[in-house]
Each structure stands twice: as structure tokens, then as C-alpha cells.
């Protein structure tokens, strides 16, 4: 199965968990465009010390601009000023014309870089910040008994803890101070650390196998559990006041 087919098929398999509609055609189209870029740059991604230096190298030989032109054509989304659009994409100002196109290109480059990095083995980090691109992740998934974070931008993944969940935000590993609220089928969970008050979403069912890029989306299914988490919070609060 090709990568685009793999993505579409796991999306149609798990989209029902979400409880909100997903534009499968759009996801597929973006994946096709990104796959083309990833094919172009994959081979050399491993030769750079950082994602930043890789992007700079591709930019200086005009590759980023060329890729943006192709994506812009395919999406019928005009880019007036490529440099401005790139800057906007990096700072997250998606309103600027062409920023979406720039973001798609940058993400494809970052994903290719992350794939190469993952071939060198998984890193262990107690952090919610992606060690490659610096984006903040709110998505964890369980794999072979380990709890891993996955980057929402580049899909890099790193191991936070083994055997039991640890808070990726503050490193708290006291099981009693990490709330785990899951659905009845134990597919996804919303987790909360009482130590630093962070919450994050976790795919706890290891049989839910999806490409890394889809995990943050599928984990959104845990948002349904936020009211239940709110209930627990109120209970804990009342107990705290009493004691």
C-alpha cells in the first residue's frame, strides 16, 4: 500500500471516533503534495545537523520556492510574496496570503527530516516540546508498553516513559497525581497532571495503528472526555478544601 492510501484508509477506519467530520479528500490531497516533496528531499535529510540548517540549504538553492509554486498551483492558492509567506508560516500567522502553502511545504520538509532522524532510533525525552522542530505536542500514544509523544508538525516521536505514563510537561511520575480518563473501550484517554495542571490526549489502545501524522488528529477523540475530567477536577477540589 502506498503512503497516501495508507493514510486515507486509516483515516476512514478511525474518523468515526472523533465525533466531528474530517475532510478526507483534503487530507489526501495535502498528503499527495507533501509526499512528492518528501520524495525529493528525503535522500539528503540525514546529512544535516539540524532541521533549520536543512531548510536553509533547501531555501538557498531555490528548492523551497519551487515547491511552493507547485503546491500553490495544485491548491489554486496564490502566493504573492514567497518570502513573506514563509515568514508568516514560521510565526504561525496563517492569515497572510500564501502562508498555508508555505506551511505545507515546510511541514513536508520537516517530516522528511524527522523520518530520517527516526531511522537512527528513538530518543528518550521528558518533554512536550519536539526535540527536532520545537513545536509543542499535546499528543501521546502507547506503543509496546511505552508512552510516546508525537509532534503535531513534523511527526517526530520520542519516548517519555515505559510501563506507566509520566507527565511530559513537568516530569511528574507519581501515578496518583496523574488523572487518566478514558472511554469505555479504552481507546483514547485524556490525561491530567495535578502537579503542573497540564492536560494531554493519549491513544491508549495499541491496536489503533495509524501513520504518525494522523495520531494527533485521532487523539482528538479524547476531547469528548473533557467534561468527565472536569467532574474529577471538581471532586478533587472539594476534597482538598475539606482536608
Ordered alpha helix ranges (H), the chain: 3-14, 24-45, 51-60, 63-75, 82-91, 99-119, 215-219, 226-242
Residue 79, interface with Zn ion (CB under 5 A)? no
For Zn ion, the closer CB: 63 or 194: 194
Interface map 157-176 toward Zn ion (x if CB under 5 A): ----------x-xx-x----
Q: Contacts with Zn ion in 98-127 (CB under 5 A)? A: none
Other CB atoms closer than 10 Å to residue 165's CB: what's the count? Answer: 22
Sign of CA dihedral 153, 157, 159, 163: positive
| Selected range binding Zn ion among 25-33, 88-96, 146-154, 228-236, rule: CB under 5 A | 146-154
**Does the footprint of Zn ion cover residue 132 (CB under 5 A)?**
yes
- Report the SS3 class of residue 141: strand
In this structure, are strands 178-182 and 157-162 parallel, antiparallel, or unpaired?
unpaired
Q: What is the nearest approach in angstroms of Zn ion to the Cβ of residue 57? A: 18
Tell me the window of 14-22, 85-93, 129-137, 207-215 that interacts with Zn ion (CB under 5 A): 129-137
Mapped onto helix, strand or coil, the DSSP state of residue 184 is: coil
Which residue lies nearer to Zn ion by CB, 79 or 229?
229
State in angstroms the smallest separation of the CB of 86 from Zn ion.
Answer: 17
The nearest distance, CB 150 to Zn ion, in angstroms, is: 9
Ramachandran quadrant class, 191 (left: phi over 0; alpha: psi -120 to 50; beta: rest): beta
Rounded to the nearest whole angstrom, what is the least distance from the CB of residue 14 to Zn ion in the complex? 22
Distance from chain centroid for Cα 90? 16
The Cα 19–Cα 15 span in angstroms is 8
CA dist., res. 193 & res. 138, Å (int): 13
151 binds Zn ion (CB under 5 A): yes
Q: Which is nearer to Zn ion, 129 or 228 (CB)?
A: 129
Residue 90 in contact with Zn ion, rule: CB under 5 A: no
156 is an interface residue for Zn ion by CB under 5 A:
yes
Phi-psi region at 76: left, alpha or beta (left = phi > 0; alpha = psi -120 to 50): left
Q: How far is the CB of 142 from Zn ion (least distance, A)?
A: 18
Judged by beta carbon, residue 54 or residue 156, the one nearer Zn ion is 156
Residue 28 C-beta-side C-alpha neighbours within 13 Å: 12
Which listed residue (38, 108, 193, 222) binds Zn ion by CB under 5 A?
193
d(CA 75, CA 204): 35
Residues making contact with Zn ion (CB under 5 A): 130, 132-133, 135, 151, 153-154, 156, 167, 169-170, 172, 193, 195-196
Amino acid at each position: 500500500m502506498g503512503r497516501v492510501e495508507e493514510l486515507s484508509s486509516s483515516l476512514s477506519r478511525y474518523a468515526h471516533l472523533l465525533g466531528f467530520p474530517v475532510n478526507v479528500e483534503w487530507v489526501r490531497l495535502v498528503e499527495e503534495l507533501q509526499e512528492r516533496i518528501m520524495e525529493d528531499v528525503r535522500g539528503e535529510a540525514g546529512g544535516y545537523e539540524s532541521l533549520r540548517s536543512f531548510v536553509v540549504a533547501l531555501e538557498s538553492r531555490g528548492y523551497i520556492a519551487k515547491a511552493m509554486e507547485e503546491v500553490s498551483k495544485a491548491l489554486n492558492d496564490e502566493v504573492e510574496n514567497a518570502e513573506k509567506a514563509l515568514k508568516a508560516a514560521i510565526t504561525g500567522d496563517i492569515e497572510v496570503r500564501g502562508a498555508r502553502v508555505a506551511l505545507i511545504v515546510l511541514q513536508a520538509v520537516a517530516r522528511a527530516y524527522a523520518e530520517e532522524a527516526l531511522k537512527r532510533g528513538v530518543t528518550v525525552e521528558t518533554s512536550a516540546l519536539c526535540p527536532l522542530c520545537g513545536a509543542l505536542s499535546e499528543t501521546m500514544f502507547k506503543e509496546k508498553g511505552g508512552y510516546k509523544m508525537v509532534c503535531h508538525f513534523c511527526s517526530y516521536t520520542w519516548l517519555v516513559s515505559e510501563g506507566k505514563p509520566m507527565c511530559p510537561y513537568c516530569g511528574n511520575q507519581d501515578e496518583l497525581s496523574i488523572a487518566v480518563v478514558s472511554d469505555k473501550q479504552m481507546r483514547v484517554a485524556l490525561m491530567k497532571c495535578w502537579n503542573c495542571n497540564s492536560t494531554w490526549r493519549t491513544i491508549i489502545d495499541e491496536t489503533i495503528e495509524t501513520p504518525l501524522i494522523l495520531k494527533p488528529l485521532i487523539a482528538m477523540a479524547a476531547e469528548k472526555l473533557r467534561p468527565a475530567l472536569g467532574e474529577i477536577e471538581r471532586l478533587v477540589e472539594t476534597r482538598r478544601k475539606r482536608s
